[in-house]
Chains A and B, each alone.
Chain A
Amino acid sequence: MSAMICAELREVAPDVALGVLDGADRARALVHLASCAACRRYVDELSRTADALLLAGPEAEPPAGFEQATVALLRPKTPRVARLRVLAAAAALAGIAGSLGAVLGRETAPAGRDDLRTAAIVGRDGRQVGEVSVHDDTTSWCLVSVNAPGVTSDYTVHAQLRDGRTVPIQTFSVRDGVGSYGKVMPVRARDIVEMRLVAAGGGLWATADLSAT
């Protein structure tokens, strides 16, 4: 397989962005993209337009009963109490415990249950930039919400454990000051004493003290 040069890649870039390049050309393009940041950026830009095409697609009213039938397919095998705990954590994530229930048309379990721990995320200058919630159930979850006007960057969340270990949890994006995510953690929430948000360059941006919660 011969290597593809930038000029060739630029020619097939629309096909790559649309996901319709096949066979040997696709393999050659991927090899080139793995080592060429400029072409990767170009394909990423075209991909944004290709993705927008899906958003420009039709919307239509589903048949009667679609919502109920679909939700029934999404029913997990976890007990009801576990679901409420997750929802409470989701409400805490948004910093608006209770209002999620209003949106969903019913009351939710209040934040602050025994297994739900929430702490402010504080920047190095002492200002609060967000909130983190962790909880243990059948799985352990971490929910992070950042609201830091003017900030656009990627951060990796690290969990500092009681035994001294630091475990990376997830990298996520803050755009125009806002970012949030929820993630199953490979560690137990009860073992975490601090969450650390680390910038792409490795610098510590903010922390959340969970030792006292």
Chain B
Amino acid sequence: MFGATTAGFRRALGSPLLIVAAWLLTVIAALPVTIVVGNSLQQSFGRTLSAEPMAEGFDSTWYGEYRGSAKGIEKSFDPTLAGVGGVLTNLEGWIRGDAIDRFAGLTGVALLFVLVWAVFIGGAIERYAYPDGPRGVAAIMSAGGRYWGRFVRLALLSGVVYYGVYRLHHWVMRVLEGRLLDVTEETRAMWATLTVYAGTALILVMVRACFDYAKIAIVIEDRRSALLSAVQGMLFVLMHPFSAAGIVLVFGIVAAVPLTLYVWLRPSLITPGWGGLIYAIFVGQLWMLARITLRLSLLGAQTALYQSAGSGSPPRS
């Protein structure tokens, strides 16, 4: 497990352009909606006396009115999503399965991103599986294109499973509501809720691990059936439960480091000069790079584990 973990970091960091490409993908996907929101903000306060306080800090008076009249994607603008507030909001949305409901204006962008990500991830797995294989954008795109259809089918399958997980989560929360009906201590409610959150997160992560190994199996073994690949992924996790879970656990712990740093380096929302503004955006992008690095390192570690466990056919020449 530790060998696979270090191999994962080695493989991911050995292909820094892949990390940058993944980061660029998020930038490119987010940029159009950011421009829309930026223009909306500019139109709203750009020629009013709120322009200065918004440049140097925040004007709650302006925001109250803006929020009241916001439409579509504008509704998701909230100053408390800046910095770690946004990360924690996304984390809770992921566990509760309401990230899509809560930010419906971004669903189209998200779907598009996921489809492009499906291309990228195929190329990334091939790169990590065969570090000495062909390099370059063309090689990644070619590999990604080869597996894209299978990954999309796998995504549809995993969507059904994730839907089931969230239905289960909501059912457990309803049961919990009944159990908490006569509880008078918030602390007990907090621990009960955190326990459900942890349970849901664990299930999500393990389901995800199954589908990660399914993707790896598709690439390494050139499997064509999404269903059989999913079965293979699940079997792999069942046959190597400690290693599969251990890798996820290690990465979960490692992820706490950049998150803590992000909290610690949290840029102030008071930005009298351009320096503060640049720093705020820079730290945010640094967080995204760290998150993506971890994501790809995990994938590299899982690929290494899959290969070291002797699953699948030997590497292609």
Answer whether A and B are interacting partners.
no
Interface residue ranges, A against B (CB under 8 Å): none
Interface residues, chain B, with chain A CB atoms under 8 Å away: none
